[in-house]
């Protein structure tokens, strides 16, 4: 036994001390604190970066999907001063329950508010906000606000004189909804629902439903693309895993080659191949398989989206599967064979189950990428090959309804999280190997 | 069982050659006949072609030339799963996604055995390797030695007549290895199976086998019982590979029956046992086991002057490096008898050995 008391001293209380008489505990804590601080300083830049570029924007997006103050607050562009707007009308909404017929007082409040809007040059902003819920309202607001100063009591008649549409209960219902900046109406809109003037939540007309179908289509196409990637990628990954290192490295370059070309180039090359005047159709016509007037439409529809996205996402399926397959020693298959299993049984019972972590990781990766894919469907999808992300982009760029875009994106996010959770329950996250 | 007539052999390799790349032969002209119930070990340095031979027998490699027969039937064209050969792999190859019991049930399942029968057989096999309670565990939850036993049980559970083992104990520590050696030997005797065992641990080969085939460079250098292998190595490779060995170079001066008279390079003479066909005037390599050398011999058959260069204490014996006939690497094992006068470095003395312990091999 080596004598340890030289290093640590024990005082009367039984407390361990270091050689220079410090209590051992505090000395240890100090040493660990130093290490922790160093580690924290090292990761701080990344943490900050992730926080600023990832957590904050997502939080912003989630906030925007339930908050829109277009009807309640005006921010001056020149000096940033915030002015509450539509105050009178909001008071009237507070005093009268939903479904109340707008009376003279309501119209008076409206005219007062419109006068303020005119001063602030803000009728467009409020009109746009109401337009999200009730189309055609923007011009109504700008038009009426322009004449607001000249309107006199009785205000109801005067306003209705300007435009009959002010009498529509849907318009008043929309204004009531918008009078609270915190609202779930964007989520309702994102699942094709709306609030009736009586306050009931109902589905919108069958022919105006877009989002639910688009969500379903997005999920279905993503699942299909994932399935295709799996079917095409599995044999390739297997081949890569069993070939000698040199050959497989060469093949791996072919798998990775698409990563070295721009996404746009790859997508456009599919356009060149598949469009009705494209290479594939030309060859088939030349070979007499189809007639010149029977050219197959493979671009600007779902087929185009499926083909191009499968091709683009294939490497994301192959790589995780390959990395898992590579680690499966051939001795398992040999053992199974020596135990009397045919090659098919060996594959089914021994090889395949061990590749599941790779398949799961690849499928997860491809599916999540596909669900949020934007550029390829936008280019080759035509009208029925569009995915939900294309509509989100539309609301971001064209209709400028950011709250709806945020609600759609949030739904997508929740959907993926739910799938992730389901996956964890069914397969187990620790069963997934990403590399 | 030592020498099996060729036509009665259970497994036989007949002029088998194997090349992977078409340029070099990894197995060169292998002739090997293994009797039923025999425990045959393939022993040899790394890369000598042992695994290759085993793989050809199991059906994972095809022989480039020659024929392998199992129980009289040529097996070159029988796929591995129909050969009915049990196999234990060096890394055990237990299926990681199956429990121990499922691993054992697998060979029975693919043979279409019913569930109740299967469970009974699995339980029997687990008991056989004293792992009865471990059926529900995953292989990763077992220690190396336990995994090894399961691998053994799996190779035996479908009652094959031939079991191949490729360095099954390579990953175990010394104590466990010795224990498992005993268990494997015991199972072999109890079940009456034929075992082909690969190892590069010579003591393992010597303690377990009925016969040992010493491989080198794709050839069997000697095929004999462990005792014969140690006592009567037929060539320099075997003499050096099995056990420790002192080498002395000399020239044959006369041959008298099975005794050869030799002259060492320093001019002294001696006698040795003729093993290789050496003629008068040729050079020969004399091989003497370190434990067969006596200090201060009373009868002076091969008495020779020696000088102690180094003493290494080994507990039960002392290894003594000496200069003998100009060779500085001559090792003598001196038993630690306690009473014996201690040797000292630099001490000069006489040592000797019996003529039959000094084997004259090919130079
Ligand atoms: N699949 C293969 N392709 C090409 N050469 C191979 C292959 N397998 C083995 N070899 C070569 O054949 C020779 C014999 O290999 P083998 O595996 O039979 O040796 P071994 O005696 O089992 O050695 P060890 O004790 O190291 O396991 C070696 O030189 C090896 O490089
Ligand atoms: Mg080997």
- Do A326 and A185 have their domain in common? no
Domains of chain B: 6-236 (3.40.50.300), 246-361 (2.40.50.140)
Res A322 pLDDT > 90: yes
A174 phi and psi angles, rounded to 5 deg: -65, -40
- Do A145 and A50 have their domain in common? no
- Do A196 and A249 have their domain in common? no
Top-confidence residue, B176 or A326: A326
pLDDT in tens, B165-187: 998 888 778 888 888 888 899 88
Chain A residues touching B96 at Cβ < 8 A: 354
For residue A92, the model assigns a pLDDT of 92
For residue A133, the model assigns a pLDDT of 86
- Do A267 and A403 have their domain in common? yes
Q: Which residue of A has its CA nearest to B90?
A: A331
Residue A397 belongs to a domain: yes
Residue A56 belongs to a domain: yes
pLDDT in tens, B11-57: 999 999 999 998 999 999 999 999 999 999 999 999 899 999 999 99
- Do A106 and A227 have their domain in common? no
Domain interval for residue A52? 9-66
For residue A328, the model assigns a pLDDT of 92
Chain A residues touching B107 at Cβ < 8 A: 339-341
Res A4 pLDDT > 50: no
A338 in B contact zone (CB under 8 Å)? yes
For residue B5, the model assigns a pLDDT of 52
Residue A4 belongs to a domain: no
Q: Which ligand is nearest to the CA of B165?
A: 2
Among partner residues B85, B93, B154, which is closest to A332 by beta-carbon distance? B93
A283: domain CATH number?
1.10.3720.10
- Do A218 and A340 have their domain in common? yes
- What value does the mean pLDDT of chain A take? 88
- Do A267 and A299 have their domain in common? yes
CA B215–ligand 2 middle distance (angstroms) = 12
CA–CA dist A13, A15 (Å, integer): 5
For residue A2, the model assigns a pLDDT of 45
The confidence band for A13, taking pLDDT boundaries of 50, 70 and 90, is low
The confidence band for A14, taking pLDDT boundaries of 50, 70 and 90, is low
pLDDT in tens, B113-171: 999 999 999 999 998 888 889 999 999 999 888 998 899 899 989 999 999 999 888 87
Residue A367 belongs to a domain: yes
Q: For an interface test with A, give the residue of B61, B95, B140 to mutate (most A CBs within 10 A).
A: B95
Share of chain B above pLDDT 70, in %: 96
Please report the beta strands in chain B, taking only residues with DSSP state E, as ranges in sequence order.
Answer: 11-18, 27-34, 39-43, 65-70, 73-74, 85-88, 162-166, 194-199, 211-216, 219-224, 246-256, 259-264, 269-274, 283-288, 294-295, 304-313, 317-324, 327-335, 348-352, 358-362
For residue B340, the model assigns a pLDDT of 58
B86 in A contact zone (CB under 8 Å)? yes
Q: What is the pTM of this model?
A: 0.77
Q: For an interface test with A, give the residue of B97, B103, B138 to mutate (most A CBs within 10 A).
A: B97
Q: Which residues line ligand 1 (CB under 6 A)?
A: B 20, 26, 44, 46-52, 200
The confidence band for B4, taking pLDDT boundaries of 50, 70 and 90, is very low
Q: Which of A208, A234, A254 is the last residue of a domain?
A: A208
Residue A359 belongs to a domain: yes
- B269-274 and B358-362 strand pairing: parallel
For residue A239, the model assigns a pLDDT of 93
Residue A277 belongs to a domain: yes
Alpha-carbon gap: B85 to the closest alpha carbon of chain A (Å):
6
CA B27–ligand 1 middle distance (angstroms) = 10
pLDDT in tens, A97-155: 888 889 999 999 999 999 999 988 889 889 999 988 888 888 999 999 998 888 888 88
Residue A2 belongs to a domain: no
For residue B281, the model assigns a pLDDT of 86
Give exposure, B102-131, as e/b (b: 16+ Cβ within 10 Å): bbbbbbbbbeebeeeebbebbeebbebbeb
For residue A432, the model assigns a pLDDT of 64
Q: Which residue pairs, CB below 8 angstroms and at least 24 apart, start in B190-193?
A: B191/B156, B192/B37, B193/B37, B193/B86, B193/B156, B193/B160, B193/B161, B193/B162, B193/B163
From B28, B49, B197, give the residue whose CB has the most ligand 1 atoms within 8 Å, as the site to mutate: B49
Residue with the smallest CA separation from ligand 1 atom 31 is: B47
Among partner residues B60, B107, B164, which is closest to A340 by beta-carbon distance? B107
A344 in B contact zone (CB under 8 Å)? no
The confidence band for A341, taking pLDDT boundaries of 50, 70 and 90, is very high
Q: Which residue of B has its CA nearest to A355?
A: B97
The confidence band for A3, taking pLDDT boundaries of 50, 70 and 90, is very low
Share of chain B above pLDDT 90, in %: 44
Is B96–A354 a contact, with Cβ atoms under 8 angstroms apart? Answer: yes
The confidence band for A431, taking pLDDT boundaries of 50, 70 and 90, is low
* Sign of the Cα pseudo-torsion (B125, B126, B132, B133, in order): negative
Chain A residues touching B95 at Cβ < 8 A: 332, 335-336, 350
Q: For an interface test with A, give the residue of B52, B58, B70, B93 to mutate (most A CBs within 10 A).
A: B93
Res B3 pLDDT > 50: no
Average confidence (pLDDT) over B254-267 = 87
- Do A379 and A268 have their domain in common? yes
* Sign of the Cα pseudo-torsion (B350, B351, B355, B359, in order): negative
Q: Which of A66, A86, A111 is the last residue of a domain?
A: A66
- Do A16 and A89 have their domain in common? no
- What value does the mean pLDDT of chain B take? 88
Average confidence (pLDDT) over A60-78 = 90
- Do A381 and A252 have their domain in common? yes
Lowest mean pLDDT segment, chosen from A8-22, A389-403, B321-335: A8-22
Cβ atoms of residues A206 and A212 within 8 Å: no
Residue A3 belongs to a domain: no
Domain count, chain A: 3
Q: B131: which DSSP letter?
A: -
Res B282 pLDDT > 60: yes
Q: Which of A66, A95, A111 is the last residue of a domain?
A: A66
Q: Name the residue among A65, A70, A80 with its Cα closest to residue A128.
A: A70
Q: Which ligand is nearest to the CA of B52?
A: 1
- Do A21 and A139 have their domain in common? no
Alpha-carbon gap: A235 to the closest alpha carbon of chain B (Å):
21
- Do A39 and A154 have their domain in common? no
């Amino acid at each position: 036994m080596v004598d340890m008391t030289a290093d640590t001293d024990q005082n009367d209380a039984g407390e361990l001390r270091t050689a220079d008489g410090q209590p051992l505990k505090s000395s240890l804590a100090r040493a660990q604190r130093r290490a922790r601080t160093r580690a924290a300083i090292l990761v701080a830049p990344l943490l900050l970066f992730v926080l600023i570029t990832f957590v904050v924007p997502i939080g912003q997006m989630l906030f925007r999907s339930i908050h829109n103050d277009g009807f309640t607050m005006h921010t001056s562009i020149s000096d940033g001063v915030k002015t509450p707007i539509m105050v009178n009308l909001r008071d009237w909404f507070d005093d009268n329950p939903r479904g109340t017929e707008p009376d003279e007082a309501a119209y008076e409040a409206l005219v007062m508010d419109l006068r303020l809007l005119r001063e602030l040059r803000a009728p467009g902003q409020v009109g746009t906000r109401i337009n999200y819920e009730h189309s055609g309202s923007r011009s109504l607001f700008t038009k009426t606000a322009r004449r607001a100063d000249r309107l006199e009591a009785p205000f109801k008649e005067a306003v209705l004189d300007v435009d009959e549409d002010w009498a529509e209960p849907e318009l008043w219902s929309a204004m009531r909804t918008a009078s609270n900046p915190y609202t779930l109406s964007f989520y309702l809109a994102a699942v094709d629902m709306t609030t009736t003037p009586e306050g009931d939540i109902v589905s919108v007309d069958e022919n105006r439903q877009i989002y639910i179908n688009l969500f379903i289509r997005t999920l279905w196409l993503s699942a299909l693309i994932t399935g295709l990637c799996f079917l095409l990628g599995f044999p390739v990954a297997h081949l890569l895993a069993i070939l000698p290192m040199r050959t497989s490295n060469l093949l791996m370059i072919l798998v990775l080659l698409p990563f070295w070309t721009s996404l746009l180039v790859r997508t456009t090359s599919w356009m060149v191949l598949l469009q009705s005047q494209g290479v594939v159709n030309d060859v088939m016509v030349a070979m007499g398989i189809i007639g010149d007037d029977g050219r197959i439409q493979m671009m600007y529809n779902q087929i185009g989206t499926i083909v191009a996205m499968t091709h683009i996402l294939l490497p994301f399926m192959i790589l995780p599967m390959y990395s898992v397959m590579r680690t499966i020693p051939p001795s398992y298959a040999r053992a199974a064979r020596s135990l009397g299993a045919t090659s098919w049984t060996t594959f089914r019972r021994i090889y395949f189950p061990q590749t599941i972590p790779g398949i799961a990781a690849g499928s997860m990766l491809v599916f999540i990428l596909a669900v949020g894919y934007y550029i390829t469907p936008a280019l080759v999808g035509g009208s029925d090959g569009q995915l939900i992300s294309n509509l989100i982009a539309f609301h971001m760029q064209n209709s400028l309804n950011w709250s709806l875009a945020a609600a759609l994106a949030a739904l997508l996010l929740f959907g993926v999280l739910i799938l992730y959770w389901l996956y964890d329950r069914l397969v187990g996250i620790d069963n997934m190997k990403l590399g | 069982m030592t020498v099996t007539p060729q036509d009665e052999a259970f497994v036989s390799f007949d002029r088998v050659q194997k090349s992977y790349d078409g340029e070099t032969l990894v197995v060169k002209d292998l002739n090997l006949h293994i009797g039923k119930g025999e425990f045959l070990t393939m022993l040899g340095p790394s890369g000598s072609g042992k695994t290759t031979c085993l793989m050809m027998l199991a059906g994972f490699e095809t022989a480039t030339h020659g024929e392998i027969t199992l129980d009289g039937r040529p097996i070159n064209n029988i796929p591995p799963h129909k050969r009915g050969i049990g196999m234990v792999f060096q890394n055990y190859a237990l299926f990681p996604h199956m429990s121990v019991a499922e691993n054992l049930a697998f060979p029975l399942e693919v043979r279409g055995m019913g569930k109740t029968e299967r469970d009974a057989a699995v339980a029997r096999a687990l008991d056989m390797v004293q792992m009865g309670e471990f059926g529900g565990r995953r292989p990763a939850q077992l220690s190396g030695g336990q995994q090894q036993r399961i691998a053994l049980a799996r190779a035996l559970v479908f009652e094959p007549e031939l079991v191949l083992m490729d360095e099954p104990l390579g990953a175990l520590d010394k104590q466990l290895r010795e224990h498992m050696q005993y268990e494997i030997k015991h199972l072999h005797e109890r079940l009456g199976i034929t075992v082909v065992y690969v190892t590069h641990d010579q003591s393992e080969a010597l303690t377990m086998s009925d016969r040992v085939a010493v491989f080198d460079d794709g050839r069997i250098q000697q095929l004999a019982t462990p005792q014969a292998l140690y006592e009567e190595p037929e060539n320099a490779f075997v003499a050096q590979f099995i056990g420790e060995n002192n080498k002395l170079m000399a020239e044959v001066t006369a041959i008298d029956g099975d005794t050869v008279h030799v002259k060492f390079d320093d001019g002294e003479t001696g006698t040795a046992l003729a093993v290789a066909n050496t003629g008068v005037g040729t050079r020969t390599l004399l091989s003497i086991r370190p434990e067969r050398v006596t200090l201060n011999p009373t009868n002076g058959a091969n008495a020779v002057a020696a000088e102690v260069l180094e003493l290494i204490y080994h507990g039960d014996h002392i290894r003594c490096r000496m200069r003998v006939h100009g060779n500085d690497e001559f090792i003598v094992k001196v038993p630690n008898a306690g009473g014996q006068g201690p040797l000292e470095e630099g001490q000069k003395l006489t040592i000797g050995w019996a003529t039959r312990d000094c084997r004259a091999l090919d130079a």
